Amino acid sequence: MKKYILAWIACITASVVWVGAQTTSAVVAANTNLPAATNLLAVTNAAAQSTARTTAKTGGGYLGLIIWGVIIAAVFGFLWTKGYLVKIRNYVSETQEELRKCSWPTREELKGSTVVVMVTITLLGLFTVLVDWVLSNLMSVIT
């Protein structure tokens, strides 16, 4: 069990680092969109300035991601030591067991229920529009 949890934490941390790297690249790419008439030197200069701004904001790009990875690992470590992960696992397995016991509607029953709901919503909407129109005309006659 311990192996699986540690592997899961490693996967989450790697995903956070990858998403952060993609986000940083997207910010740099978005900040370098300049008009086509701009010469190559201006584009290069703007890209360098944009990269410097992004790097300055993010602390090198990966510092924030590393901090988030450590926070996530600490939260999972805490949950693991307190036994909450076992409780969550038991809850999910019991929920799956209960869902297997349910009797699910057939496709035809589902279509019939969907039609009933759509007709009911349409009738309720028409009733609301009609009452609104009547009250609006009544108020315009009164005032």
pLDDT of residue 55: 52
For the stretch 125-135, pLDDT in tens is 999 999 999 99
For the stretch 73-115, pLDDT in tens is 999 889 888 888 888 899 999 999 999 999 989 999 999 999 9
Residue 1, burial from CB neighbour count under 10 angstroms (0-12, 13-18, 19+): exposed
DSSP code at position 33:
-
Alpha-carbon gap, residue 11 to 133, rounded angstroms: 58
Tokens 């300049």 belong to 34
- Distance, C-alpha 86 to centroid of its chain: 25
